[in-house]
Amino acid sequence: MSAKQQTGKLLKSPAWKLCSLYYQQFRAMFIKRALFSWRNWKLMLLQILGLLGVVIFLLKAENFVTENDDIARQMNLREYGQTIVPLAISGNSSLTVNLSKHLENMLKSEKQILQEVRGDIQNYLMGNKDCIHLCIVALSIEVKTNETVLTVLFNNEAYHSPSVSLAVLDNILFKSLSGPDASITVSNKPQPYHDYISMFNKHTSGMLVSLYVHFGMGLLISGFCLLSVTERVTKAKHIQFVSGIYVLIYWFSALLWDFITLFISCCLLLVIFKYCNVDVFVMDYHFLDIMMIFVLYGWSTIPLMYLLSFLFSKSTTAYIKLILFNYLSGIFSLYVDTAVRYMEIESIKSTVTRNSILNSLLLLPNYNLLKCLSGYFAFYNKKISCNNQRNHPDSSLCNTEDSVYSLEDDMIGKNLFAMGTTGFAFLLLIFSGDTRWWWKLKKNFIQYVYFAIYKKFNKELVSKELSGRSEDEDVEQERKRILDQSDDLLMATVLIKELIKIYFNCPAILAVKNISLTIQKGECFGLLGYNGAGKTTTFQMLTGEKIATSGDMFIEGFSITNNILKVRSRIGYCPQQDALLEYMTGRETLIMYARIWGVSEHQIHLYVNHWLSSLHLESHADKLIYTYSGGNKRRVSTAIALMGKPSVVFLDEPSTGMDPIARRLVWNLVTKIRETGKAIVITSHSMEECEALCTRLAIMVKGKFVCLGSPQHLKNKFGHFYILKVKVKPDTDKDALEDFKSFISMTFPGSVIKQENQRIVNYYIPSKDNSWAKVFGILEEAKEQFHLEDYSISQITLEQVFLAFAHTDKMEDESEENIP
Ligand SMILES: Nc1ncnc2c1ncn2[C@@H]1O[C@H](COP(=O)(O)OP(=O)(O)OP(=O)(O)O)[C@@H](O)[C@H]1O
């Protein structure tokens, strides 16, 4: 076999096809995420700048202690800018002349102002407002008989003013003794901290730096929930799953994109550490360690954000609340950690309690981040101190064997390990939410707990409403057929068996009441019913969006309740509300779904163009979805449902909001798709649409089927009467009209007035025993006899059948009405 043949065989193998499908889907999901960030770049930038800005601002604002912070500060008037130095001299001597000359020269060189004062210096200082801020040092020289008294007064408002005052005095004295070139430089340098205090300060500094980073991180990582919430709430996620996306691919692509964003932000953060002299984090390849901490933090916190996003139904609310959660969880856990470790609290004195509290904190990624950064900071600062003081007296403090990654209490090993494992745990929880296992658990809980309790307390209602028996013979026949031969019918494209849905609200809502149905391939089945009849709920159960309370549904033999994942790739779904991602264009959306379906890359553009032209969407293809009109959005949703290779397509009011031309296009498309052998299930409030598309239909009233069959069958069955519309002449008196009514009721026994207003009377005339010719003949004669202006006779329409059933619902509540 040639190499070319072998390659060809490999490309056609199922494993290769599966791999290429995975690749296609991953690509589609990754591009979707990238487009979200790209189109919302301002938000993205805000998140990254938020992180960097918060960290840089807080680091600059707080002067945290490092080795280099203990610098010597010069005690010099220059440090205060230009000041005034009042000088009062009383008496005269060569010493006073000498001292004042040196003072004058010294102040001149330092660009200070010498202010000679007459009288008491204290009075001058008290009486001069400027002195409050400008007179840091004041001098008085008093010549007495045997001595000269030099007094220097310092400004109590200014830092370091006593030592600066003494430095000024010492300098002029020294200059008078050793000449004008002599000077004394005075500096204020603190003694090095004692080891214990030093450690405490470094620990505090490390904690502050890690708190700042954690504040900034909160802004960035909370944003990762935005698309997850939007996709879930708009049902775009559901449609992607229905189109066949794999759970792992959906979540891993999201994780990878958000991870890249976090990684880039953390690289920039390292630059900020360098700029703000947080040397411990960047020197000697330490940035690699810090990067590893950030990577593990991302690994654990991003899945947690996804997981928490399930709690919210609005993306902005989710963002704000998750920022708060991230801040508070970090600070609160740190507080608990400090309280447990250092405070003497009676109830947590036992080691077991203490350890279990500390270990439970390890579940929080923010706690681990704080502990890792502060622990790392303190560890390396301690190491630097120990290296600086080689002959350190306490060798236990400078154990060079220690590793920052050890699992001991003050080291970071435990926290790194916790981040690694919690990341896995959170991811598993997310995946399990979309797996068969979780679906089954929820199903069993609803069926065997909720429903069992409901049945126990509502026996009468359940036996009356949920028995499934129907007064309509077609519905009853279908039900019996399904119950008797369910095994034979399993391979029907759609098989619905005793399906019940109860919303367990207060009070419980019985949305779908034990319906049974089969739909074969090549069939277009219409589900009609007025608002709230239960059509959408039925669709939601059939597409796996909602779990049935009882009963089962099969698509090509696969049970939805037991094997939802296998069913999903066999259906196309156009939900009632457009499940579109508004930041994408129509073309990008269709390309994404084509990739999910596994259309090969070189055919995608051709394939998408075909769908765009089928629905006349070419001119809007490259516009963002949020700019689309309602009708155009519906077209895109319909195209998504119809594309790919589904065995059955569910269309929930597909043509709502479409103009007549678009509606015809959709009808043609649906008919073509049906003719290829797919089953179509459609709900619509347009009877015209149902007549045009449906091969069979059912009318649903209050969760039950009340009739079932082809449109013609229903018209024949329920249309056993004609509609007679009579218009009498304007001058017809009341008696003549009454005569006409008596004539009709006598000639057509069983006829009923449906409506009467002004000169128009509408009748239902039984069609049995009355041919068209007979009715026309009689009315032609009556026209002359009763002076009728005009009349018309027509067959009942589907809409009238539907209205009759819709009315039966009202009539149940009110009273019986006269429908023949
Ligand atoms: N999430 C829900 N929680 C509680 N009740 C619900 C929920 N969804 C639907 N219902 C109720 O279930 C019943 C059936 O609703 P459904 O949306 O299936 O009707 P429908 O036939 O699709 O109506 P429409 O033609 O307006 O779309 C209604 O009484 C509705 O109020």
pLDDT tens digits along 44-74: 998 898 888 888 888 777 655 444 455 778 8
* Residue found by looking up tokens 């002359």 in the block: 784
Burial readout 297-324 (b: 16 or more C-beta within 10 A, e: otherwise): bbbbbbbbbbbbbeebeebeebbebbbe
From the number of C-beta atoms within 10 Å of its C-beta (0-12, 13-18, 19+), residue 81 rates as exposed
Protein residue whose Cα sits closest to atom 17 of ligand 1: 536
316-320, 328-332, 751-755, 775-779: which range is least confident on average? 751-755
Query: What Å distances lie between residue 278 and 49, 62, 337, 472, CA to CA?
Result: 19, 12, 25, 80
- Phi, psi (deg, nearest 5) at residue 313: -115, 5
Most informative mutation of 509, 527, 802, 805 for ligand 1 (most atoms within 8 A of CB): 509
Give the mean model confidence (pLDDT) for residues 93-104.
87
> What is the CA(219)–ligand 1 centre distance, in A?
38
**In terms of DSSP bridges, do strands 524-528 and 760-766 run parallel, antiparallel, or are they unpaired?**
unpaired
More confident residue, 819 or 502: 502
Residue 818 has a pLDDT of 40
What is the model's pLDDT at position 198? 54
CATH code reported for the domain at 437-468+475-713: 3.40.50.300
Question: In CATH, what number does 75-185 get?
Answer: 3.40.190
Query: By the 8 A CB rule, do 586 and 625 touch?
Result: yes
For 361-410, the DSSP string reads: HTT-HHHHHHHHHHHHHHHHHHHHHHHHSTT-S-GGGG-TT--TTSSSTT
**pLDDT at 228 (0 to 100):** 93
Q: How far is the CA of 673 from the centre of ligand 1 (A)?
A: 29
- The reported pLDDT for the residue numbered 203 is 57
Using alpha carbons only, how large is the chain's radius of gyration in Å? 43
Residue whose CA lies nearest to ligand 1 atom number 30: 532
Average pLDDT of the chain is 85
In this predicted model, which residue has the larger pLDDT, 804 or 628?
A: 628
Distance 547 CA to ligand 1 centre (A): 14
**C-alpha angle 374-377-382 in degrees, rounded to nearest 5:** 125
Give nearest CA residue, ligand 1 atom 11: 511
Could you tell me the distance, in angstroms and rounded to a whole number, from the CA of residue 533 to the centre of ligand 1? 7
The pair phi, psi for residue 98, each rounded to 5°, is: -60, -50
Q: What is the pLDDT, as a whole number, of residue 537?
A: 93
Do 497 and 485 contact (CB within 8 A), yes or no?
no
Give the per-residue pLDDT at 67.
47
* Ligand 1 center to 491 CA (angstroms): 29
Could you identify the atom of ligand 1 that is nearest to the CA of residue 501?
A: 12
In the chain, count of helices (H) and strands (E)? 32, 20
Distance from Cα 532 to the centre of ligand 1, integer Å: 5
pLDDT of residue 65: 44
Q: Tell me how crowded residue 706 is: count the other CB atoms within 10 A of its CB.
A: 22
What burial class does residue 180 get, using C-beta atoms within 10 Å of its C-beta: 0-12 exposed, 13-18 middle, 19+ buried?
exposed
- Cα dihedral: 660, 666, 669, 673 (round 10): -140
**Which residue would you say has higher pLDDT here, 628 or 818?**
628
Nearest atom (ligand 1) to Cα of 538? 18
d(CA 266, CA 290): 9
State the residue for tokens 């959408």: 536
Beta-strand relationship, 788-795 and 721-728: antiparallel
| pLDDT tens digits for range 741-797 | 888 888 888 787 877 777 788 888 877 777 778 888 888 888 878 878 888 888 777
Distance 503 CA to ligand 1 centre (A): 9
> CA 466: distance to chain centroid?
38
Calculate mean pLDDT across residues 496-500.
92
* Candidate of 504, 505, 513, 535 to mutate for ligand 1, largest count of ligand atoms within 8 Å of Cβ: 535
- Please list every protein residue whose CB sits less than 6 Å from any atom of ligand 1: 503, 505, 509, 511, 529, 531-537, 576
Tokens 């950064």: give the residue: 373
Most informative mutation of 503, 527, 543, 706 for ligand 1 (most atoms within 8 A of CB): 503
What would the two tokens of residue 797 be? 């329409």
Mutate which of 530, 531, 537, 655 to test ligand 1's pocket (most atoms within 8 Å of Cβ)?
537
The secondary structure of residue 283, as a DSSP letter, is: G
Residue spans of the domains in the chain: they are: 40-61+194-433, 75-185, 437-468+475-713, 720-795
CA of residue 640 to ligand 1 center, whole Å: 24
Q: Where are the alpha helices (DSSP H) in 13-93?
A: 14-39, 41-61
The percent of residues in the chain predicted with pLDDT above 90, rounded, is 35
Are 583 and 40 within 8 A, CB to CB?
yes
- Interval between CA 552 and ligand 1 midpoint (Å): 20
Which band of pLDDT confidence, cut at 50, 70 and 90, is reported for residue 462? confident
Distance 536 CA to ligand 1 centre (A): 7
User: Atom 29 in ligand 1: which residue has the minimum CA distance?
Assistant: 532
Q: Which two tokens stand for residue 488?
A: 């034979």
First to last CA, the chain: 77
Top mean-pLDDT range of 390-394, 416-420, 815-819 = 416-420
pLDDT at residue 347 in the model: 64
Q: Which contacts of 531-535 are long-range, i.e. CB under 8 A and separated by 24 or more positions?
A: 533/700, 533/701, 533/702, 533/703, 534/501, 534/700, 534/702, 534/703, 535/652, 535/683, 535/700
pLDDT in tens, 579-629: 999 999 999 999 999 999 988 888 999 999 999 998 889 999 999 999 999
Find the 590 Cα to ligand 1 centroid distance in Å.
29
Q: Could you tell me which CATH number the domain at 720-795 has?
A: 3.30.70.1650
For β-strands 73-74 and 679-683, DSSP reports them as unpaired
Q: Whole-angstrom Cα distance, residue 371 to residue 369?
A: 6
Ligand 1 atom index nearest CA of 537:
18
ipTM for this prediction: 0.97
Say what the pLDDT of residue 714 is: 84
| Atom 9 in ligand 1: residue holding the nearest Cα | 537
Range of weakest confidence among 87-96, 349-358, 468-477, 641-650: 349-358
CA of 354 to the centre of ligand 1 (A): 51
pLDDT band at 202 (very low <50, low <70, confident <90, very high): low
> Quick check: 629 and 658 in contact, CB under 8 A?
no
Residue closest via CA to ligand 1's atom 12 equals 511
How high is the pLDDT of residue 519?
A: 93
